[in-house]
Amino acid sequence: MGFLVQLNSFASRCQRYILWLLFVCFCIPLSKGFAQPYAGDFLGYLNQPPYIEQAQDMLIGPTGNLLVLTAGSARVLQFDTETSELVNVLIPPDSVDNALIPRASFVLGTNNLLYILSTESKSISIYNGVSGAFVDRIDFEVGGWGTSLSDLQNNGYMAIGPDSNLYISSFATHEILRIDLETKNIEPFVSQRSAGLFNPSDITFGPDGHLYVFSNLTRDVFRFNGETGDFIDFFIEDFPYTTSRDIAFGPDGNFHILALIRHEVFSYDGSTGEAIESLVPFLSANLYRPTSFSFSYENQLYIASRPPNHFSRSQLLRFDGLSGNYIDTFFPQSHRILNQPFGLIIGPDSHFYVTSFANHEVLRYNGETGQFVDAFVPPDTGGLDRPFDLDFGPDGHLYVSSFGTDAILRFDGTTGVLIDDFVPERSGNLEGPGGLEFGADANLYVSSFQTDEVLRYDGTTGEFIDAFVSRGSGGLFGAHGLRFGPDGHLYVGSFHTDEILRYDGTTGAFIDAFVTQNSGELDAPQDHRFGPDGHLYVSSLFTNSVLRYDGESGAFIDDFVPTNTERLAGPRGLVFGSDNDLFVSSIGRDLIYRFASPLNISTSTDSPLELPTAVNLSSNYPNPFNGSTSISYMLDKPSHVVISVFDPTGRLVERLMDQQQIPGAYEVDFNAENLPAGVYFYRLQTEDSLETGKMVLVR
């Protein structure tokens, strides 16, 4: 019987470990200036996304910038064609119109209006192409086309005709529709199955004013009269590959077809349709599974390409639009690709240091701007293999766990140059080094994932001292993240049992399961940190969330970062910044997320935050106010009272009170004569309580 129990335990361990490895190695996404600083609010990304999620279509916008329509994140990105920098998210995911998921294509019409086809809502959404503001919407249900257009998804394409009206291919009904943009009337332009047209996808108008249509079924390019819709001829017959993703006439007047499976741009004489040399040959510049292309005013060709093994991610390649010669990788260009960020810390220089697990390096980002600084530890330095966690030691040097070689490497804390293998391979039976941290005794503590223990090494020499937490102590199963708490004890994540276990910080003896199994639906704990409010924050890998637990009892409080917030996938490393904001590394999206400090005001209500306290903070009066307002509060015992006012960015505006007071009722005035109108927050803090409120200044 005991053997069966062990066998089941081993099987469970293997299954969970395989799931974790699959997530780490093949994870893809499952699914803004900073906002007001409410606790846990998403504030943006530390690093610029090193890829575009499923680039579906692209075009040159009214300002000459490149606009990219993404399927994965439901937005339109705007890039500067000179610098390749991301200018802005022209149309964000939370746009006024939520009809962007999924979509097929977009076009730029007259008056700088952008038309986006949304197959989910069976409509076309109209935006200002300069500002991104929502303008209007055309609903296909009104014209009776909604049902047939529901099957468009990846095969519905649009074009603006010489008459400035909108034309759309209807894949399911085998026809081309025309939409009068003044009346919004929808009618067939090319009748169903005209000349044998089946499953039309890409469409474009040529220099001759005629309409060219690619048939996904017959692989022919049909030419129809641009005024009447009558069939003229087969411009290209029997294109050799089944999947075309885009068609266009280039600056040389020739006709080009972007072939998804062939990884190539095929070319044909623009007058006769005869095949000529491909503009962009097979796999040129690592072109792979291209999804869209666009010619610019400067005769450059932009192609969205999906790197191998990353179906949902796109990069933009740039070619000469006349010769087809490769120019550069337009995006990312100067951006270092962060690939599976595991460890995340803030260094002595206040910069962020991140382990790039899949690229075998440590990247550094500016602590204020989030801009990429350098590869502090370049790929494979000293044999670094799948760096997991990292920490700066008492000597100022950087220590990195090398998961692939079962060692701890030491790098110069200023230059990043390798010093030595501080903990040699398998020292002390180290296997699968995960979390690491220096203790109060200046020794190094490392979790050994495969052997279910925490090992201790001399902080000066790296010599193995002992198994500080013995194998399986307290039910430890898959030792993962580890941190010393404010009480001096050691907290270790038990990956396979979904717990945070607590051990005596001096002896290593098991104390308790501080966070019990599945508390708050914790699933595969990764990293954990004690926050500025004294509570424990834990990244939960398989629920894509960050959970908060009481820092004294371990009781579950809330989902500080709820599941899939801003499509958070695979949360791993956690660190609190100098402003107490929480930064979370996402190994599913290769991004560092930023969330508002837990000391900020809760989003759950507009009323002051209700905490277990005998202090009573009343709403300010008047509210809204012009000039000055009064804040009232009551104390039931002697307390040191601090009353502060903050602006919407979390900046301290004024400290109204900072002194010891006896029990009683109090009132303090806030004069805002010299402040701009807007929302402000006030906070009352004593030794054992914290209450907050919101006030509105008007002019």
Following CA atoms 16, 17, 20, 24 in sequence, which dihedral angle do they give, to the nearest 10 degrees? -170
> Which part of the chain has CATH 2.60.40.1930?
616-697
Structure tokens at 451: 């052997």
Q: What is the pLDDT of residues 291-332, one digit of tens each?
A: 899 999 889 999 988 876 555 667 888 999 999 999 988 765
Residue 48 pLDDT class (50, 70, 90 cuts): low
Domain with CATH 2.120.10.30 in the chain: 343-595
Structure tokens at 542: 């398989």
Strands 398-402 and 407-411: antiparallel
pLDDT tens, residue by residue, 476-500: 999 999 999 989 999 999 999 999 9
Whole-angstrom CA distances from 8 to 12, 15, 130, 453 are 6, 10, 61, 20
Measured in whole angstroms, the distance separating CA 570 from the mean position of its chain's CA atoms is 10
Q: What's the rounded Cα separation, in Å, for the pair 428 and 380?
A: 24
> Residues 6 or more apart from 541 whose CB is under 8 A from it?
20, 23, 523, 524, 525, 526, 570, 571, 572
Write down the CATH number for the domain with range 57-259: 2.130.10.10
Please report, for residues 123, 430, 522, 552, the alpha-carbon distance to residue 70 in angstroms, rounded to integers and kept in the order given.
Answer: 17, 44, 32, 45
Enumerate the H helices of 105-248 as residue ranges: 140-143, 146-149
CATH 2.120.10.30 holds for 343-595 = yes
At 50 the pLDDT is 52
Provide the pLDDT for residue 30.
Answer: 30
Q: How confident is the model at residue 609 (pLDDT cuts 50, 70, 90)?
A: very low
Amino acid at 565: T
- Sheet of strand 444-448: strand arrangement: 433-438, 444-448, 453-457, 464-469
Q: Where do we find the tokens 């007001």? A: 36
pLDDT, tens digit, 9 for 90 and up, residues 206-242: 999 999 999 988 889 999 999 999 999 999 998 887 6
Structure tokens belonging to residue 500 = 């945070």
Confidence of residue 611 (pLDDT cuts 50, 70, 90): very low
Q: What pLDDT, in 10s, does the model give residues 100-131?
A: 444 568 899 988 999 988 766 667 889 999 98
Q: 433 with 417: CB under 8 angstroms?
A: no
Q: Where are the beta strands (DSSP E) in 120-230?
A: 123-128, 134-139, 158-160, 166-170, 175-179, 186-190, 200-205, 211-215, 221-224
CA distances from 322 to 67, 247, 256, 299 (A): 21, 16, 12, 7
Q: Is the pLDDT of residue 187 over 70?
A: yes
Residue limits of CATH 2.130.10.10 in the chain: 57-259
Is pLDDT above 70 for 94?
no
Residue 150: other Cβ atoms inside 10 A: 14
The string of DSSP letters for 519-584 reads GGG--SEEEEEE-TTS-EEEEETTTTEEEEE-TTT--EEEEEE-TTGGG--SEEEEEE-TT--EEE
Tokens of 390: 């990292």
Check if CATH label 1.10.600.10 holds for domain 616-697: no
Q: What are phi and psi of 417, to 5 degrees?
A: -70, 140
- CA contacts within 13 A on the Cβ side of 674: 2
Average per-residue pLDDT for the chain: 83
Residues contacting residue 52 through CB under 8 Å, at least 6 positions apart: 68, 70, 77, 304, 313, 314, 315, 316, 331
